[in-house]
Amino acid sequence: VVATPGRLAHHLVEAGLSLRAVEFLVFDEADRLFEMGFAPQIHEIMAKMSDKRQTVLVSATMPSMLIEFARAGLRDPQIVRLDSEMSISPLLKTVFFTMRMEEKTAALIHTIDKVLDSDAQALVFCATRHHAEYLSLVLTHRGITNVAVYGAMDQTARKINVARFTDKEIRIMVVTDLAAR
């Protein structure tokens, strides 16, 4: 069964489904589920399952509420982490600029045109889908090859855009936090 916690909790009540035979329970994006207020539904779902199940929480971050949940709600929880020193390429360059809001787009274009090597690729992180779409249009207008990738995008389109970036057809990938994960 693949479902959001809210929808699954609804089906458990409405359809009278039983989850006692479930052996594995996976919460993908567990940090986001708790941030979005699904904790009551998660507890409700887990209460209707066997205690012998294996529960996996997959999360890009470990906020305190997720750690507390793991300690209180899981038997003998184990944390598996990818050490950051081992996962970040030494070739990766990270640059931070401080500027006024109205200067951001111009600074991005200047950085792409004048600072990046002509064959270099870059990820540009945006807060929202609308920001990503806007920047993608601006970059396209400037003749800079780019794609936007965000959560509301069709899965097929997302895969195509990521593949184009990975295959170096595209120079800039404008993303929301989806791509960061």
pLDDT tens for each residue of 57-90: 888 777 788 788 877 778 777 777 665 555 667 7
Q: Could you tell me the pTM of the whole model?
A: 0.54
pLDDT tens for each residue of 146-167: 999 998 888 899 899 999 999 9
Q: Which structural domains are found in the chain, ordered by start?
A: 5-73 (3.40.50.300), 86-180 (3.40.50.300)
pLDDT of residue 180 exceeding 60, the answer is: no
Q: Are 149 and 132 within 8 A, CB to CB? A: yes
pLDDT tens for each residue of 83-127: 555 566 777 777 788 889 999 999 999 999 998 888 999 999 998
What is the rounded average pLDDT of the residues 11-32? 86
What backbone torsions phi and psi does residue 174 show, to the nearest 5 degrees?
A: -95, 120
Q: What are the beta bridge partners of residue 49?
A: 19
Q: Residue 85: its pLDDT value, please?
A: 52
- Say which residues have a Cβ less than 8 Å from residue 152's Cβ, sequence separation at least 6: 129
